[in-house]
Amino acid sequence: MLDQKLIRENPTSVEDNLSSRGKVYEISHIHKLTVKKKEIDIEISSLQSESKKLSKLIGQEISKSQDNDSSELSNLKKKGNYYRTRISEYEEKKRILDKQIHNEISNLPNFPSKDAPIGKDENNNIQVKTWGDPLRKDNLKSHWEIGEGLNLFDSIKSTKISKSRFITLIGNGARLERALINFMLDMHTKNGYLELMPPALINSESLQGSGQLPKFSNESFKCSNDDLWLSPTAEVPLTAFHKNEIIDPKLLPIKYVAYSPCFRREAGSYGRDTKGLIRLHQFNKVELYWFCDPSKSLEAHKSITADAESILKKLNLPYRLVDICTGDLGFSSSRTFDLEVWLPSSKCYREISSCSNCLDFQARRSSIRTKIDKKNTYLHTLNGSGLAIGRTVAAILENGQQPDGSVKIPDALVPYFGSNFLKTT
């Protein structure tokens, strides 16, 4: 969430920063609300000050007068009641305004970093580097063709269980998915992350805190009888884990890793990637999450990205690092580096992790602070997939495919999977 004080004092700067996302943001209506709230705050403060002075006068009048029903005392008490009534009226106005302002500001995205490339959409993203030797051959099979041939998953039968865009993993497919989850969790915990396994059902306040609500309600699945939603990513419960807390600066940075099933409607995908494991309504993911000192989040962003990269390197999967432009940034992100893994069948790179620095945006929405120079200060949050499991499976199948129809398992994964190859049974 953006700073309300900044909106009140410098609305033009706020509009300019937001407009670098490639869309015009007009916030004069929010600015007027914040100015009005400030005026009410001043009025309440003035009335409270007068009320305190009056309370002292009433106390002095009672102590010096034997007549508690004197006209002077009666007039003072009437004036005191007047002040209390006025304060109550203004506080009610303030409560209404606070809710209006919160609702309006909740729909505004984060400021893009000054270091993010300026651009309108994904075509303006900048490739920073590549790693590995991409497999480039003709007549390579797609991961869903390989998966069906090796009987690793079934999407047709899954429609009987649920609906389209869900998948049932079978035999070695389930085994490979489980092996990857354990492998990634072990790698990250060895690298200093504390493992959490949060609830898959989350409340609206948690979604608001991380930035998914109110703007992206159509992307999530909601339970009809409760204020609970299926989590779209572990980023949401990990943000909420320290909601309304003041974290001891000695504990920073706090680094969490969490496996979770994720659920998304993919409302805007319009029929893209309907085959295979790339864009499902339910998928597994290992998430990395940092809470850190605001002065250290730029370095933390490099570190969390490197930690996600390390998994791709361990699995020997070719990838590239992309600096996301201002027009393609996620709602809560100030700067994002995408990791895109090579998929030989389509001869292109596909996103497998987005590593984002959200600065104080989520911490302000969730009231997560730390002490800096004895002052409560919103800390910075960072997140990144470490990695998306289904897409990692797809990359392993395509990059490891052999002429005989088998798939070579990456050496680092063999101890977890228990075999060097996926073969027909």
Q: Give the model confidence (pLDDT) of 386-400 as tens digits.
A: 999 999 999 999 999
* pLDDT for the residue numbered 407: 98
Which of residues 291 and 76 earns the better pLDDT score?
291
SS3 call for 281:
coil
Model confidence over 163-197: pLDDT tens digits?
A: 999 999 999 999 999 999 999 999 999 999 999 99
- Give long-range contacts, CB 8 A cutoff, 24+ apart: 264-272: 264/219, 264/220, 264/232, 265/218, 265/219, 265/220, 265/221, 266/165, 266/219, 267/218, 267/219, 268/219
What pLDDT score was predicted for residue 269?
58
Q: Which residue in the block uniquely carries the two structure tokens 């998430």?
A: 287
* pLDDT, average across residues 2-22: 97
Spatial distance between the Cα atoms of 285 and 100, rounded to a whole number of angstroms: 36
pLDDT above 60 for 127 = yes
Please tell me whether residue 165 adopts helix, strand or coil conformation.
coil
What is the number of residues in the chain?
Answer: 425
CA pair distance 181, 315, nearest whole angstrom? 13
Q: 4-105, which class in CATH?
A: mainly alpha
> How many Cα atoms are found within 13 Å in the side-chain-facing hemisphere of 341?
30
pLDDT digits (tens, 9 = 90+) for 226-275: 999 999 999 999 999 999 999 999 999 999 999 999 999 986 655 667 78
Domain with CATH 3.30.930.10 in the chain: 122-422
Give ranges for CATH 1.10.287.40 in the chain: 4-105
Q: Is the pLDDT of residue 404 over 60?
A: yes
Give the distance from CA 158 to its chain's centroid: 29
| Whether the Cβ atoms of residue 331 and residue 108 lie closer than 8 Å to each other | no
Look at residue 126 and give its three-state secondary structure. strand
DSSP 217: G
56 C-beta neighbours (distance < 10 Å), count: 9
d(CA 146, CA 143): 5
pLDDT for 393 equals 98
- CA-nearest of 118, 181, 231, 191 to 417 is 181
Structure tokens at 375: 């002052």
pLDDT at 282 over 80: yes
Q: Which of 231, 183, 179 is nearest to 210 (CA)?
A: 231
Tell me if residue 234 falls in helix, strand or coil: coil
User: Which strands form 348-357's sheet, in the order they lie side by side?
Assistant: 126-131, 319-323, 335-343, 348-357, 380-388, 282-292, 254-263, 194-196
Q: What is the mean pLDDT of the chain?
A: 95
Residue 347, sorted as left (phi over 0), alpha (psi -120 to 50) or beta, turns out to be left
- Position 69 scores a pLDDT of 66
Under 8 Å between Cβ of 351 and 319:
no
Confidence band, pLDDT 50/70/90 cuts, at residue 68: low
4, 33 in Cβ contact below 8 A?
no
The CATH classification of domain 122-422, taken from the options 3.30.930.10, 3.40.630.30, 3.10.20.30, 3.30.2320.20: 3.30.930.10
Do the beta carbons of residue 110 and residue 359 sit within 8 Å?
yes
